[in-house]
């Protein structure tokens, strides 16, 4: 426990700077370093493995919501600095939504928003179900045991996101290999740079080729927006990359979701017995699941801002932890327990404010289809190994099982 929140005159000694190494955590264990930081106070200071200096870390629900919805905290400013961070390499691209402030963020998002709306996702649903059914047909045909990650959780989001983006089937393996390398922290800067070069080169060519295409996929929307002069060709590439990579998040997130469901028989039974209970359970798992290692992307204070009884000075970097906010007892009573009936459940698993996840509706659709279809079509679905033998992804930003051996 550190000192009481100090006066806003800046006299309170700043909290110590804590090193936050990227731990290789297994299962759905909550990061003990983050738990320690949360117990030290609402606003602590951290140093991550790469970049320079230290950054503030906000962990309370209300503070996280404030920081992420306040234009006094800038993403664009981070691109001009070497802020302490988890990723070894740092090369933000023009056009990337994550690094844009208003009004550029709105202009860029408008170019692709149509492909990710609730109504677009409704239209996508039957095709997504068809893709999933084909994969599950194969699993049923081959019989147990199977690795769900390899057979379903990896190919399904990849195929669906490639469908939304408009990646031709012949290019899908290549695109997937690049995205996997980019989100991995193993292989170092060089491997990630090579993968980025490959993916972004491919996207550039694809957008150029689509300018006159009649299709309705994202690469076509981007080609058209470039042709109308609303975004530059370079911005189109920076916009598309993270969308293409976003599909990976569903693989790992649904891996954690299924691991939790299959190791808690009361959840499986509830979801089988009452399909209407599936939505609230999945939402509660979204709140509970430690989706990522450490923290995502920083923001920089553009002016002095008072937060949690302290003064953040202009120019200082700030991180928020959505994982921590989702465990704030003031927002979620008994936060470390999965309560399948939790209501309301205003979790921040997809972020908050202008940078709220572009693919949130798509991710929800895929998770709902995945869990529902697997429970309905594989009665008796269970892990084929003891839970402690499931192997987890290491040296990674997004956490999840490497394999999920199941039987039924």
Chosen residue from 66, 146, 221, 249 binding ligand HEM by CB under 6 A:
249
Q: How far is the CB of 188 from ligand HEM (least distance, A)?
A: 24
274-303 residues in contact with ligand HEM (CB under 6 A) are 291, 296-297
Total residues found in the chain within this entry:
408
Is it true that the peptide bond before 59 is cis, omega within 30 degrees of 0? no
73 binds ligand HEM, rule: CB under 6 A = no
142-161 residues in contact with ligand HEM (CB under 6 A) are 161
Pick 225 or 249: Cβ nearer ligand HEM: 249
Contact track, ligand HEM, 174-213, x by CB under 6 A: ----------------------------------------
Number of residues near ligand HEM (by CB under 6 A): 24
Q: How far is the CB of 140 from ligand HEM (least distance, A)?
A: 26
81-140 residues in contact with ligand HEM (CB under 6 A) are 97-98
Going by DSSP bridges, is the β-strand pair 43-47/17-19 parallel, antiparallel, or unpaired? parallel
Any idea what DSSP says for residue 27? Answer: T
Cα gap 311→1, rounded to integer Å: 19
Calculated CA dihedral for residues 106, 108, 109, 115, nearest 10 degrees: 150
Q: Which residues lie across from 318 on neighbouring strands? A: 56, 299
Q: Are 193 and 89 in contact (CB under 8 A)?
A: yes
259 binds ligand HEM, rule: CB under 6 A = no
Pick 179 or 181: Cβ nearer ligand HEM: 179
Q: Which residues lie across from 300 on neighbouring strands? A: 74, 317
Structure tokens at 366: 């895929």
240 binds ligand HEM, rule: CB under 6 A = no
345-384 residues in contact with ligand HEM (CB under 6 A) are 349-351, 355, 357-359, 362-363
Cα gap 324→61, rounded to integer Å: 8
Q: How far is the CB of 6 from ligand HEM (least distance, A)?
A: 27
Label residue 269 exposed, middle or buried (CB < 10 Å: 0-12, 13-18, 19+).
exposed
Q: How many CA atoms lie within 13 A of 350 on its CB side?
A: 16
Binding site for ligand HEM (CB under 6 A): 68, 97-98, 161, 242-243, 246-247, 249-250, 253, 291, 296-297, 322, 349-351, 355, 357-359, 362-363
């Amino acid at each position: 426990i550190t000192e009481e929140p100090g006066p806003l005159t800046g006299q309170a000694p700043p909290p110590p700077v804590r090193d936050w190494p990227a731990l290789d955590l297994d299962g759905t264990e909550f990061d003990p370093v983050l738990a320690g930081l949360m117990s030290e106070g609402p606003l602590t200071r951290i140093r991550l493995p790469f970049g320079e200096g230290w950054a503030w870390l906000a962990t309370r629900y209300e503070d996280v919501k404030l920081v992420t919805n306040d234009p006094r905290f800038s993403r664009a400013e981070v691109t001009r600095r070497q802020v302490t961070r988890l990723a070894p390499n740092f090369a933000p691209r023009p056009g990337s939504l994550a690094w844009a402030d208003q009004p550029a963020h709105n202009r860029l998002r408008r170019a692709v928003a149509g492909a990710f709306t609730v109504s677009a996702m409704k239209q996508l649903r039957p095709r997504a179900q068809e893709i999933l059914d084909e994969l599950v047909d194969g699993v049923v045909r081959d019989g147990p045991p199977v690795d769900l990650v390899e057979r379903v959780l990896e190919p399904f989001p990849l195929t669906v996101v490639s469908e939304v983006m408009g990646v031709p089937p012949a290019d899908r393996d290549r695109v997937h290999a690049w995205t996997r390398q980019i989100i991995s922290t193993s292989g170092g800067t060089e491997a990630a740079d090579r993968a980025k070069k490959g993916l972004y080169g491919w996207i550039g060519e694809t957008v150029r080729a689509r300018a006159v295409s009649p299709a309705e996929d994202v690469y076509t929307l981007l080609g058209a927006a470039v042709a109308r002069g609303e975004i530059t060709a370079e911005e189109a590439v920076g916009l598309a990359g993270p969308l293409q990579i976003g599909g990976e998040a569903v693989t790992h997130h649904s891996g954690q979701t299924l691991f939790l469901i299959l190791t808690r028989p009361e959840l499986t039974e509830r979801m089988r017995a009452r399909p209407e209970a599936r939505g609230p359970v999945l939402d509660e798992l979204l709140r509970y699941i430690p989706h990522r290692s450490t923290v995502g992307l920083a923001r920089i204070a553009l002016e002095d801002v008072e937060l949690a009884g302290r003064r953040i000075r202009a120019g200082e970097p700030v991180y928020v932890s959505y994982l921590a906010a989702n465990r704030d007892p003031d927002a979620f009573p008994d936060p470390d327990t999965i309560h399948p009936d939790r209501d309301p459940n205003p979790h921040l698993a997809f972020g908050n404010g202008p940078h709220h996840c572009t693919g949130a509706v798509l991710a929800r659709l895929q998770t709902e289809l995945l869990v529902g279809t697997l429970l309905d079509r594989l009665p008796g679905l269970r892990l084929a190994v003891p839970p402690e033998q499931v192997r987890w992804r290491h040296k990674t930003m997004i956490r999840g099982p490497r394999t999920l051996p199941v039987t039924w």
